[in-house]
Structure 1
Amino acid sequence: MKKILLIEDDTALRENTAELLELSDYNVITAANGRLGIEQAFKEIPDIVVCDIMMPEIDGYGVLEALASNEKTTHIPFIFLTAKTEHKEIRKGMDMGADDYLTKPFDEGDLISAIESRLAKSAILSMRTNGASINLDVVEDEDTPRNLNQLKNYFCDEGTIANYKKGDTIYRAGDHSNNIFLLLKGVVKTHTMDDNVKELITGLYKADDFLGFTSFEDNLPYAESATAVEDVELVSLSKTYLKDILIKSKDVTLELMNLLSDNLTDIKQQLVRMAYSSVRKKTASTIIQFAEIMNKNTSAPLRISRNDLAATAGIATESLIRTLSEFKKNGIIEIEGRDIHIVDLERLKFIE
């Protein structure tokens, strides 16, 4: 019987949840605050921890940090169960190494499903650590994604969904990169600062794009920041789980390598354009790029800040505004407030 440590300061919720888990054939240990939870974790070494965030003495983040820093408990799957739903809180917990995040009031089935999923993944990783590679292949044969579409479905099934408003930061340069993201809705920009503290947009990502790749071997920090250009919904998955999939599925690994190679080619082309193209060419190409990503066609009005357009094109905002005025005067685009409407796409494409 698997052992669950439930840390929750709300007495009624703690008792009701413990009863639910016991009826599902789990051995449940409870703690009323973070300090007691840490003591119980070190004493009992549970198979999984379900923990509230806002608690007296030591909060959930403190519990996670304490368990993650001790070699006896660092391997234990950790699920946050909390009323806090802001994306900053979700990102903080996941960046610290939490495996999942459920919000109150929660569905009983979702809690059981999350626990079963994390226990199964933990067992698989434990088998790998102990050298049980032969049985491991058999265990994951049916569940391991075989192509990128299945991998995206896996993200949605096993990952943590979060929503961000336009302008919200998803991650910052220097943050620990424990997760990979799949964008479900909206547009995200990645960006950095040059030596003159001028923003440079390094990439634009739309629905169905992966985001946030860094080394799988080292917990390197992000080299750039990611911000929502419009309202965004995305799902995050631990790099540990993704690495395990890539080890087992050569097809997924090859498809992902091709995808990342294409992304690298796009970045190189952007750098060449920024280095050698005229201001007019940079502006035209950037308008088309944003229009295709944000609207999926070039006939709909494009609402994007002039600063973002300039940062992507690699030119000064003042130069961009002057060029937009020129395009409008020549009948290539129309401008109404912040909206840009492409009138003559062919002329825009062939601007030099």
Structure 2
Amino acid sequence: MESSVLLIEDDVVLAENTRELLELSGYRTLTSHDGKSGLKKAFQEKPDLIISDIMMPELDGYEVYKALQQSQVTCNIPFIFLSAKADPGDIRKGMNLGADDYLTKPFNEEDLILAIERRLEKRCQLLQQERKEVQPGKKGQALEELKEHFKSCGEQLNAEKHEDIYLEGRLAGNIFLLESGLVKTSRLDELGKELITGILQKGEFFGFYSFQPHSCYPETATTLEKSVLFRASHDEFVQMLEQNLELTLEYAELISQHLDVLKTHLLEMAYGSVLKKTASTLLEFAKKTGLGNSQLIKVSRSDMASVAGISTESFIRSLSSLRADGIIDILGRDIKILDLQKLQNIH
């Protein structure tokens, strides 16, 4: 099987000439004309070797290399700088970063091919050694790598409190990773009443409902506080799942865990007392926001009541009862948990 080489070069003529040279030498060659698209292609294609210019728009070669080193998916791909910057300081900077080689323009064609052959041969030896020492991967590693991909290649969104991320019934064109903040998902019943279906916290993915390319969002996603998100297209996300069995299995397990939590929540809503539903909802929001004793929950009463599956009035009465027992305190619109253990023991 022929080796693949990713060439990141903003000089279109040079890129085309170099591509022809590499293909004539038996390499499957991918090209990008700026650092950002080159970085994205590196994550998507996972080439056997990367050649990159340094002075480029969007991201320069140094930034591309640093981003690749931060992901376990790409950190071991051989990397060669190709640049007109021939100053010894520039060469030293590139090599100090950890690059495998540094060639200056104009380069000798034989030198380039020889550098590629040596790096690929060395990588082949390392891979063979790794196979001998292979050990099972850490659980959840593929999902962590997916998160890094979203942060490196996805589009960043800064959302204000109560801002809609997507709406029920709209085309489901993107998948989201919540980097910070809090997001609720909800549906409207036939009477127009909002039913909250989930609360999402930092590090969670949302927006994926179907492998079909033209599905619609079955619910609305709205921020509960200022949030930072990253998004990738639905098609790109599906492609990553199809190409990575380990990732697919980990994501399926994640969905399974969410279903178990949802079943427990539904049973509690069906059979739990109003006070128990209120306590469980407070505990859920405390967990989602990383809170413990002596911390404030800054979420509206109506949102929490919707999660609990009770009316806002009943929720407020339960809060008053918990306050009277010294389990919580109410400071304006915020709720302060005073005794986490007692709150957990409510039946």
Q: TM-score range by the shorter chain?
A: 0.5 to 0.7
**Alpha-carbon distance in structure 2 between the residues aligned to 1:346 and 1:195:** 39
Match of 1:198 among 189, 193, 199: 193
Match of 1:259 among 236, 247, 254: 254
The aligned residue for residue 211 of structure 1 is: 206
The aligned residue for residue 25 of structure 1 is: 12
2:292–2:337 contact (8 Å) kept in structure 1: no
2:9–2:34 contact (8 Å) kept in structure 1: no
The aligned residue for residue 105 of structure 1 is: none
1:291–1:298 contact (8 Å) kept in structure 2: no
The residue identity in structure 2 corresponding to 1:112 is D
1:173-188 matched pairs, under 5 angstroms: 173-188=168-183
The aligned residue for residue 112 of structure 1 is: 34
Change in CA separation of 1:255 and 1:123 when aligned onto 2, cut-off 3 Å: closer
2:43–2:73 contact (8 Å) kept in structure 1: no
**Alpha-carbon distance in structure 2 between the residues aligned to 1:253 and 1:310:** 35
The aligned residue for residue 230 of structure 1 is: 225
Change in CA separation of 1:147 and 1:23 when aligned onto 2, cut-off 3 Å: closer
**Alpha-carbon distance in structure 2 between the residues aligned to 1:287 and 1:200:** 17
1:94-105 matched pairs, under 5 angstroms: none
TM-score normalised by L of structure 2: 0.62
1:216: Cα distance to partner? 1.4
Query: Among the aligned pairs, what percent are the same residue?
Result: 39
**Alpha-carbon distance in structure 2 between the residues aligned to 1:323 and 1:117:** 53
**Alpha-carbon distance in structure 2 between the residues aligned to 1:333 and 1:112:** 55
**Alpha-carbon distance in structure 2 between the residues aligned to 1:151 and 1:168:** 25
The residue identity in structure 1 corresponding to 2:218 is A
1:301-320 matched pairs, under 5 angstroms: 301-320=296-315
**Alpha-carbon distance in structure 2 between the residues aligned to 1:151 and 1:142:** 9
Change in CA separation of 1:123 and 1:249 when aligned onto 2, cut-off 3 Å: closer
The aligned residue for residue 244 of structure 1 is: 239
Alignment RMSD (CA, Å)? 2.8
Q: Deviations over 1:301-324 (max 9, x none)?
A: 111110111011011001111111
Change in CA separation of 1:123 and 1:335 when aligned onto 2, cut-off 3 Å: closer
Q: Deviations over 1:241-279 (max 9, x none)?
A: 222222222111111111111111111211111111111
SS of corresponding position for 1:147: helix
Unaligned runs of 5+ in 2: 1-7, 15-32, 47-71, 78-139
**Alpha-carbon distance in structure 2 between the residues aligned to 1:229 and 1:261:** 25
Match of 1:341 among 322, 333, 336: 336
**Alpha-carbon distance in structure 2 between the residues aligned to 1:238 and 1:214:** 13
Change in CA separation of 1:298 and 1:189 when aligned onto 2, cut-off 3 Å: farther
- Comparing 241-250 with 176-185, greater Cα deviation is found at 241-250
1:117: Cα distance to partner? 4.7
The residue identity in structure 2 corresponding to 1:114 is K
SS of corresponding position for 2:186: strand
Unaligned runs of 5+ in 1: 1-20, 28-110, 125-140
2:186–2:194 contact (8 Å) kept in structure 1: yes
1:32-47 matched pairs, under 5 angstroms: none
Q: Deviations over 1:123-166 (max 9, x none)?
A: 89xxxxxxxxxxxxxxxx96599611111111111111101011
2:155–2:231 contact (8 Å) kept in structure 1: yes
1:118: Cα distance to partner? 5.9
The residue identity in structure 1 corresponding to 2:271 is Y
Return structure 1 stretches of 4+ with deviation > 4 angstroms.
117-124, 141-146
TM-score normalised by L of structure 1: 0.61
**Alpha-carbon distance in structure 2 between the residues aligned to 1:203 and 1:220:** 20
Match of 1:269 among 264, 267, 272: 264
SS of corresponding position for 1:261: helix
Change in CA separation of 1:147 and 1:119 when aligned onto 2, cut-off 3 Å: closer
Q: Deviations over 1:276-335 (max 9, x none)?
A: 111111000001101111134343111111011101101100111111111111111111
The aligned residue for residue 54 of structure 1 is: none
SS of corresponding position for 1:235: strand
The aligned residue for residue 65 of structure 2 is: none
Q: Deviations over 1:160-191 (max 9, x none)?
A: 11010111001110111111111100010001
